[in-house]
Amino acid sequence: MKLSAKGFTLIELLIVIAVLGILAVAVLAAINPIEQINRSRDTGSRSDAEQLIGAIDRFYASRGYYPWQTVAGTAGAAVAWTQITTAWSGAATTSVLSQLSAAGTEEIKQSFVTRITATNYNPLWIYNRGQQGDSYYVCFAPQSGSFRTEANTRCTDTSGSGLPADLKTIADTVCGNTTSPYSCLP
């Protein structure tokens, strides 16, 4: 009697499993999950920086002065390159976050402050030169290759569309580490 075997042999199954394993490795190498995680963190940091810029603008619109100043018309009051959670000496002796989340202003929620001050969060920095017409900048150190490339391009661009003049005053700080320069907004 002749048995008719239906199904796959062990060798055929091993070949299929090997091919699937090779394809899985190729796909993982192509999408680079660590880079994707770092890019998502950088996107979150950029979004948080934009939210802080909006909160500072609202604070200024309602009060007539910036959170690092104490009264309107405080010319020359600047915030040096400072971590957003750090208090600084000068016109105001509290952090930008404290001013923006204080009772009466509440431009940002306490849950936002708690999240961006967590120990595992990529810290945000703020800078303002303090001269008439200067912008203020919220910066972070990018973790992903694409964000680092973007920041490095901005630092090395000599065509005039690189760093603004008021940010060039601290270019050594912002661009000093060419492998990981800071990404600054606006």
Kindly state the average pLDDT of the residues 107-119.
86
Question: Tens digits of per-residue pLDDT, 134-154?
Answer: 888 999 999 998 899 888 888
In angstroms, the CA 148 to CA 71 distance is 37
What region, left, alpha or beta, does residue 76 occupy, with left being phi > 0 and alpha being psi -120 to 50 degrees?
A: left
Contact partners, residue 163, CB within 8 Å, separation at least 6: 154, 155, 157, 171, 174, 175
Kindly state the average pLDDT of the residues 98-113.
80
How many CA atoms lie less than 13 Å away from 122 in the CB half-sphere?
A: 21
Q: Specify the DSSP class assigned to residue 75.
A: T
Q: What is the mean pLDDT of the chain?
A: 82
How many CA atoms lie less than 13 Å away from 139 in the CB half-sphere?
A: 26
Which segments within 34-168 are labelled E, that is strand?
79-83, 124-128, 136-140
pTM of the model as a whole: 0.76
pLDDT for 103 equals 65
Over 80: is that where the pLDDT of 121 sits? yes
Question: Tens digits of per-residue pLDDT, 7-22?
Answer: 778 898 899 999 999 9
In angstroms, the CA 136 to CA 113 distance is 19
Over 70: is that where the pLDDT of 5 sits? no
More confident residue, 164 or 20: 20
Q: CB atoms < 10 A from the CB of 105, how many?
A: 16
Predicted confidence band of residue 93 (pLDDT cuts 50, 70, 90): low
Kindly state the average pLDDT of the residues 44-48.
94
- Tell me the helix, strand and coil percentages in the chain, rounded to 5: 45, 10, 45
Residue whose structure tokens are 């100043």: 69
